[in-house]
Amino acid sequence: MNNFQNGGSAAIVDRCRRLFDDLEFSEVREWKAAEKGRKVIGYMPVYVPREIIHAAGMLPVGILGGGDQLEVIQGDAYYQSYICRIPRSTIELGLTGRLDVLDGMLFPSICDVIRNLSGMWQLMFEDKYVRYFDVPQNYARDIGGSYYVNELKQLLSDLEKLSGKQISPDDLWKSIEVYNENRRAIQDLYHYRAKRPWKTPSPDVYLVIRAGMVLPVEEHTQLIRDYISAVEKEEQVMRDNCRVVVSGVFCEQPPLNLIRSIEMAGCYIVDDDFMLVTRWLLEDVPTSGDPLENLADGFLNHSNETSAKYVPVTSDKGQYLVEAVRKNQAEGVIFAAPSFCDPALLDRPMLQNCLAEENIPYTAFKYAENSGQMQPIREQAGTFADSIKLWSA
The least CB distance from residue 325 to another protein, in Å, is 19
- Nearer of residues 194 and 259 to another protein, judged by Cβ: 259
Output the 3-class SS for 61-109: EECCCCCCCCCCCCHHHHCCCCCCCHHHHHHHHHHCCCCCCCCEEEEEC
For 38, phi then psi, to 5°, come to -70, 145
The least CB distance from residue 233 to another protein, in Å, is 35
- Nearer of residues 5 and 137 to another protein, judged by Cβ: 137
Give the span between the Cα atoms of 103 and 122, in whole angstroms: 13
- Nearer of residues 153 and 239 to another protein, judged by Cβ: 153
- Nearer of residues 103 and 151 to another protein, judged by Cβ: 151
The least CB distance from residue 230 to another protein, in Å, is 32
The least CB distance from residue 99 to another protein, in Å, is 17
Is residue 105 within 8 A of residue 121, CB to CB? The reply is yes
- Nearer of residues 60 and 338 to another protein, judged by Cβ: 338
The least CB distance from residue 144 to another protein, in Å, is 7
* DSSP calls for 94-158: HHTTTTTT-SEEEEESS-HHHHHHHHHHHHH-TTSEEEEE---S---IIIIIHHHHHHHHHHHHH
Is residue 205 within 8 A of residue 197, CB to CB? The reply is no
- Nearer of residues 22 and 158 to another protein, judged by Cβ: 158
Helix spans in the chain (H): 8-21, 26-34, 50-55, 86-95, 112-124, 146-163, 169-195, 202-210, 217-233, 256-264, 291-301, 319-327, 342-357, 375-392
The least CB distance from residue 248 to another protein, in Å, is 11
- Nearer of residues 283 and 316 to another protein, judged by Cβ: 316
The least CB distance from residue 313 to another protein, in Å, is 9
Give the span between the Cα atoms of 139 and 232, in whole angstroms: 41
- Nearer of residues 26 and 154 to another protein, judged by Cβ: 154
Q: Tell me the sheet residues that pair with 379.
A: none
Is residue 34 within 8 A of residue 41, CB to CB? The reply is no
The least CB distance from residue 302 to another protein, in Å, is 20
On the 0-12 / 13-18 / 19+ scale of CB atoms within 10 A, 20 is buried
Q: Whose CA is closest to 90, among 67, 116, 111, 123?
A: 67
The least CB distance from residue 280 to another protein, in Å, is 18
- Nearer of residues 74 and 301 to another protein, judged by Cβ: 74
- Nearer of residues 310 and 391 to another protein, judged by Cβ: 310
- In the chain, the amino acid numbered 68 is D
The least CB distance from residue 323 to another protein, in Å, is 18
Which residues, at least 6 apart from 57, have a Cβ–Cβ distance to it below 8 Å?
Answer: 38, 39, 163, 165, 171
